[in-house]
Amino acid sequence: MTGADRLFARCRKGAGRFLAVVTMIAAAALPHGAWADQIDPPGRATEQVVEVQNSFDDLFGTELRGPRKYASPLGQQLAAVANAAQGRIGVAAMDLTTGRMVDVLGDQRFPMASTSKIAIAATFLEGVDKGKWSLSSEFPLMVPVASRPFSSAVAPVRPGEYMTAQRLIELMITRSNNYATDALLKVVGGPKAVNAWIERAGVDDWHIDRDIATLVRDDGAIDPARVVDKRDSATPKAMVTLLAGIYQGKWLSPSSRKVLLGAMSRCITGKRRIPAGLPAGVQVSHKTGSLNNTSSDVGIIETPDGRVFAIAIYVTGQGGRPGREARIASIARTIYNGYLSEGPTRTASR
């Protein structure tokens, strides 16, 4: 039997599996309860996705889930440290001095986790620039109320302590505080409003679907090392485009840009991630993300000689969080050294 015959046979056998997966995705886009009596539980749906993907891998190998081959020395080095043998790894970086981008699986979707908070903050700051609210405006923290996973379309929350918007941004970026994030997410109009800001900014392949309370409550049903789930996800290239635009002042006023990048420069999470791979004297303004079997770090790197790099690293698997963090640090170091070896040509654009 030829490869084509084997593929045709498996496609016929797996038609039901694909339909189940499509049904699950369609159900997620409908109002809660519309499909409640028609779809399999999340666990079974996940098993079906894995079965389909494993069948594909049996025929064609896993090349599409691992980095392609590169001709440049930096590309080759990056592909080596971002090997997907222990879980999918997505990387993108741009030298804002030269405009050169390098990536590994840069067009593949990865769970953003808390790295999405950069765009949530930017959406709020656009409202500040337009006079809708101010940094001194006060809003309540959104505190989760205990509920079972998947028991509701949106996890229940209650109002907590009131804080200024300035304080909420500081908490959500520097400490990745989820209550503060959901506070500002509610103010701007929820995920739909953030996606609208992303669309206005011209960033593709970036989308959030849930608030943080729901995202965290329902985490764990899908293994990102094996399955590509487009909900609350972005490609590494999309995140680098977002980071570069924020640094270059494309969408926010100088004062709002300063607020966001300033908070990112004071980030205290992820000390074993991007910062761990860089030498002393390098300024890192970043935001981390962590969910089931995935760790990430994205941000802006500023070198002592004035060069600037935007970088996004998404790592799954690797045997656990320590392994993922070590891989992030190694990738950051490879990118930093690779770009420096090319030498500066001009001051980074702003």
Which tens digits make up the pLDDT trace of 116-162? 999 999 999 999 999 999 999 999 999 999 999 999 999 999 999 99
Task: Give every CB contact of residue 309 below 8 A, 6+ residues apart in sequence.
Answer: 93, 94, 95, 96, 300, 301, 303, 335, 336, 339
Q: Regarding predicted confidence, which is higher, 124 or 5?
A: 124
> How far is it between the farthest Cα atoms of the chain?
70
Q: Regarding predicted confidence, which is higher, 301 or 11?
A: 301
The angle formed by the CA atoms of residues 18, 110 and 55, to the nearest 5 degrees, is 30
Looking at domain 64-342, its CATH class is: alpha beta
**pLDDT attached to residue 123:** 98
Report the candidate in 24, 46, 7 with the shortest Cα–Cα distance to residue 228. 46
Which tens digits make up the pLDDT trace of 200-214? 999 999 999 999 999
For the chain, give every domain's residue range: 3-61, 64-342
Which tens digits make up the pLDDT trace of 256-270? 999 999 999 999 999
3 state DSSP class of 349? coil
Which tens digits make up the pLDDT trace of 95-127? 998 899 999 999 999 999 999 999 999 999 999
